[in-house]
């Protein structure tokens, strides 16, 4: 606090000098290239604004001064974030002659650089975004409760519209920020999705044990609100992820340790499914590409279980159990905190600090050994499960070989239903996976056969929840997909062998379409995960409406677009008749319409499937196909009215 004077003022006046001009240039740069600062200006960037602000409150919690955070979506899609921390400093900074509060919102990357102390753990990752959010907001208002006063300051598109003013007195401390994302910047959508924010805030609550986060949606007639606070932290995260599955042992195993400025915690529990779920975080930032913390964990898990198996005689000399076998049915959260996190990889989502591998390895090796010694029944259950996995893997290898011989997989023979393209370079080709023969027919006629292949799906669905690789190879619905993609499945999956670099799921916007998307995504997630991780999978976005006025035909992809386009088509003439019909399915479109709206790379929209989409699909699949009846009933009840737009 040395550069901050402890003085309060009712309205801060200052000269507009060189620094002010720099400030505006900084924020102008954000408005010129918003994608550089928030990734994109689509829905994901819109939601990112909220995380940037909330991160500041989380940092205050990590510093030990904040216990409650509120996030509210207001009418008009404004966002209010509140916390009960110390309040952003309001003193005048000597360097700039401005209140720290103003600096936070007007200087790029100012966060974390003032005050000191508060951002230690985040290593400069958090708390840099308040000025970016300000620059991208039509307006933003901040209120700080501190020193017995309520300070208020207002901005519009990054410019100060009301200098810092004391508007009242208070006996509490904290910060409250409300902003409205600028529609000039977020041209796709300015509408917040409650579920997206809810999911992310729940994650933050799990990662910060004891921190209470309340999310509220005030847009409807009645407010919707949920308070999330988990004393058990990531232990409860694991329980939550396994909630629809059957656990192999009751207790969640929890291990934690630290060294110098870094700390690591791991929570895990096995369930009776065959999928591996490892979700890792560095400084509360999700690292879907993994990295050193995951490597350290996997190595330690394999070594500790091997050692225990040998020692307890559960493993024989010639039993060969792989790391994959030990991770079958594992649900695990890894959370590390470190001072200078290095994020690498394509999407900066992979942790590069090698000292963290050593730390996680040491913590898990030591603590897991002790746990297994003290809980031999759990140790036995895990080892038996891994032995089963190893046996199944061997059986799958044999099945694969026999299927290969029978179906000529090796000889490169393609499925009968595949309408392949002429181009051979996978980087230039796409495959549309289409449910139903009639849609398949339109797609085959409408496509550009130079680079677009069509694979219609048919036959009986397989419960991939309970299936291992051997069953999948023999299934008549999924085996053509495996053959057409050409890259194998499971541990043999090799993306370098892919025959197409765009895999596009094209299904109707109805319940059946949602089912087929859920099935395919779950299948890819379980058996070809790198396909999703490396961004090869897309969902086609077919239009919902067809609008006709005389000879003019247009389409719309949402209700809002339908209303806008129909107004445009009417033009001056409010009484002009625009005929609006709803596309009931892909099969209803003729080949030209399908090409123009959904398949032509120049005019179509493709949604790239993320790992989160796949995790969500996997979860829905587990509920729909799993053994537990209660979650299924609950899901169907809750989703009955939305089931048409299952957003996957
Ligand atoms: F960044 C922000 F303005 F967007 C924002 C910051 C938004 C919200 C909702 C909360 C916060 C915030 C900042 N909450 N708590 C803090 N704490 C500080 O900025 C702070 C307070 C005191 C001291 C100190 O050393 O006395 C240091 C800091 C960093």
Q: Which domains occur in the chain, in start order?
A: 3-228 (3.30.565.10), 234-393 (3.30.230.10), 414-542+606-642 (3.40.50.670)
Q: From the CB of 102, is ligand 1 less than 6 Å away? A: no
Q: Catalytic one among 394, 512, 559, 634?
A: 512
* Pairwise pLDDT comparison (288 vs 110), residue with the higher score: 288
Cβ–ligand 1 contact at 83 (below 6 Å): yes
Catalytic residue among 508, 533, 593, 613: 508
Report the chain's mean pLDDT, rounded to a whole number.
87
- Pocket perturbation via mutation, ligand 1, pick of 56, 62, 109 by most ligand atoms within 8 A of CB: 56
The confidence score (pLDDT) of residue 511 equals 75
Q: What is the pLDDT of residues 474-516, one digit of tens each?
A: 777 888 999 999 998 888 899 999 999 999 999 887 777 888 8
Ligand 1 pocket: which of 4, 49, 85, 121 to mutate (most atoms <8 Å of CB)? Answer: 85
Query: What CA–CA distance (Å, rounded) separates 402 from 409?
Result: 10
CA distance 595 to 590: 9
Q: 83 catalytic, yes or no?
A: no
**Closest protein CA for atom 13 of ligand 1:** 88
pLDDT in tens, 85-109: 999 999 998 888 999 999 999 998 6
Q: Which atom of ligand 1 is nearest to the CA of 69?
A: 9
- Ligand 1 center to 1 CA (angstroms): 13
Rounded Cα distance, 354 and 343, in Å? 12
Coil, strand, or helix at residue 587? helix
Task: Tell me if residue 470 is catalytic.
Answer: no
- The H-or-E segment that residue 179 falls in is strand 174-181
Could you tell me if the CB of 50 is within 6 A of ligand 1?
Answer: no
Pocket of ligand 1 contains residue 215 by CB under 6 Å: no
Q: Is 370 in the pocket of ligand 1 (CB under 6 A)?
A: no
579-589 pLDDT, tens digit each: 998 887 888 88
Compute, in angstroms, the gap from residue 205 CA to the centroid of ligand 1.
Answer: 19
pLDDT for res 151: 98
- Residue 648 pLDDT more than 70? no
Radius of gyration of the chain measured on its C-alpha atoms: 27
Query: Known catalytic residue: 222?
Result: no
Distance 347 CA to ligand 1 centre (A): 28
Determine the straight-line distance between the first and last CA of the chain, rounded to whole angstroms. Answer: 49
> What would the mean pLDDT of 192-211 be, rounded to a whole number?
96
pLDDT on residue 54 = 96
Ligand 1 closest atom vs CA 100: 19
Distance 535 CA to ligand 1 centre (A): 37
Q: Tell me the pLDDT tens digit for each residue of 6-65.
A: 333 344 444 445 555 556 568 999 999 998 888 889 999 999 999 999 999 999 999 999
Q: Does ligand 1 have an atom closer than 6 angstroms to the CB of 88?
A: yes
- pLDDT for the residue 163: 97
Ligand 1 centroid – CA 88 distance (Å):
4
Note the pTM of the prediction, 2 decimals.
0.77
Half-sphere exposure of 219 (CA within 13 A, CB side): 13
> Distances from the Cα of 196 to the Cαs of 34, 73, 199, 218, 248, in angstroms?
21, 12, 5, 15, 30
Q: Is any ligand 1 atom within 6 A of the Cβ of residue 61?
A: no
Rounded to the nearest whole angstrom, what is the distance from the C-alpha of residue 87 to the centroid of ligand 1?
Answer: 5
Q: Is 104 in the pocket of ligand 1 (CB under 6 A)?
A: yes
Query: Which segment, 428-432, 491-495, 567-571, is predicted with the most confidence on average?
Result: 428-432
* pLDDT tens per residue, range 300-352: 999 999 999 999 999 998 888 999 999 999 999 999 999 889 999 877 789 99
Name the catalytic one among 510, 561, 588, 612.
510
* Spacing of C-alpha 344 from chain mean position: 18
C-alpha pair distances (Å), 315 with each of 172, 308, 309, 385: 61, 9, 5, 12
Using the 8-state DSSP alphabet, how is residue 415 labeled? P
Give the pLDDT score at 641.
Answer: 46
The residue with greater pLDDT, 119 or 377, is: 377
Integer Cα distance of 525 and 533 in angstroms: 9
Helices 354-374/376-407 angle, 10° precision: 120
Catalytic residue among 435, 470, 593, 618: 435
Average pLDDT over residues 403-430: 81
Inter-CA distances, 81 with 143, 160, 362, 566, Å = 10, 20, 39, 37
Mean pLDDT for 173-184 is 98
- Ligand 1 centroid, distance to 115 Cα (angstroms): 9
- CA dist 480 and 477 (Å) reads 7
Q: How far is the CA of 100 from the centre of ligand 1 (A)?
A: 10
> Residue 594: CB within 6 Å of ligand 1?
no
Distances (CA, A) of 431 to 391, 515, 517: 34, 20, 15
559 is catalytic: no
10 versus 380: which is more confidently predicted? 380
């Amino acid at each position: 606090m040395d550069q901050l004077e402890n003085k309060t003022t009712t309205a801060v006046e200052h000269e507009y000098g060189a620094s002010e001009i720099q400030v505006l240039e900084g924020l102008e740069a954000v408005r010129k290239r918003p994608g550089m600062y928030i990734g994109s200006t689509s829905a994901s960037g819109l939601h990112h604004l909220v995380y940037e602000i909330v991160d500041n409150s989380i940092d205050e919690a990590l510093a030990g001064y904040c216990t409650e955070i509120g996030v509210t979506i207001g009418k008009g899609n404004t966002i209010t974030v509140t916390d009960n921390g110390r309040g952003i400093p309001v003193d005048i900074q000597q360097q700039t002659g401005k209140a720290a509060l103003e600096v936070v919102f007007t200087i790029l990357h100012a966060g974390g650089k003032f005050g000191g102390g508060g951002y230690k753990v985040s290593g400069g990752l958090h708390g840099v975004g308040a000025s970016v959010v300000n620059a991208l907001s039509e307006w933003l208002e901040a209120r700080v409760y501190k020193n017995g006063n309520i300070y208020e300051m207002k901005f519009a598109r990054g410019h100060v519209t009301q200098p810092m003013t004391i508007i009242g007195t208070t006996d509490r401390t904290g910060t409250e920020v409300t902003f409205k994302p600028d529609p000039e910047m977020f041209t796709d959508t300015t509408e917040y999705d409650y579920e997206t924010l809810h999911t992310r805030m729940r994650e933050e609550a799990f990662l910060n044990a004891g921190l209470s986060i309340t999310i509220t949606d005030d847009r409807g007639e009645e407010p919707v609100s949920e308070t999330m606070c988990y004393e058990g932290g990531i232990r409860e995260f694991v329980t939550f992820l396994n909630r629809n599955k059957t656990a192999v042992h009751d207790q969640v195993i929890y291990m934690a340790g630290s060294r110098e400025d870094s700390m690591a915690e791991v929570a895990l529990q096995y369930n009776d499914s065959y999928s591996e779920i490892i979700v890792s975080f560095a400084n509360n930032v999700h690292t879907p590409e993994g990295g050193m913390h995951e490597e350290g964990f996997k190595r330690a898990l394999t070594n500790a279980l091997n050692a225990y198996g040998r020692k307890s005689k559960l493993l024989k000399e010639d039993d060969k159990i792989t790391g994959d076998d030990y991770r079958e049915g594992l649900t695990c959260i890894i959370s590390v905190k470190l001072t200078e996190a290095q994020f690498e990889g394509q999407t900066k989502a992979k942790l590069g600090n090698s000292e963290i591998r050593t730390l996680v390895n040491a913590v898990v090796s030591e603590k897991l050994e002790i746990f297994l010694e003290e809980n031999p029944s759990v140790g036995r259950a895990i080892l038996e499960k891994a032995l089963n996995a190893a046996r199944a893997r061997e059986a799958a290898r044999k099945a694969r070989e026999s299927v290969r011989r029978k179906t000529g997989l090796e000889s490169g023979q393609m499925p009968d239903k595949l309408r392949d393209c002429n181009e051979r370079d996978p980087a230039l080709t796409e495959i549309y996976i289409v449910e139903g023969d009639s849609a398949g027919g339109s797609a085959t006629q409408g496509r550009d056969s130079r680079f677009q292949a069509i694979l219609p799906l048919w036959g009986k669905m397989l419960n991939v929840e309970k299936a291992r690789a051997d069953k999948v190879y023999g299934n008549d619905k999924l085996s053509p997909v495996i053959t057409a993609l050409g890259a194998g499945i499971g541990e043999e999956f090799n993306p370098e062998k892919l025959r197409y670099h765009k895999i596009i799921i094209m299904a109707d916007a109805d319940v059946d379409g949602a089912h087929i998307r859920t099935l395919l995504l779950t299948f890819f997630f379980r058996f070809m995960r790198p396909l999703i991780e490396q961004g090869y999978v897309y969902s086609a976005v077919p239009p919902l409406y067809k609008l006709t006025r005389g000879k003019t035909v247009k389409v719309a992809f949402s209700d809002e677009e339908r209303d806008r386009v129909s107004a445009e088509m009417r033009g001056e003439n409010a009484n002009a008749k625009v005929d609006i019909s709803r596309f009931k399915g892909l099969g209803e479109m003729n080949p030209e319409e399908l090409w123009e709206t959904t398949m032509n790379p120049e005019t179509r929209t493709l949604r790239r499937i993320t790992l989160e989409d796949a995790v969500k699909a996997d979860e829905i699949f587990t509920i729909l196909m799993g053994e537990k009846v209660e979650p299924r009933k609950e899901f169907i009840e809750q989703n009955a009215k939305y089931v048409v737009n299952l957003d996957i």
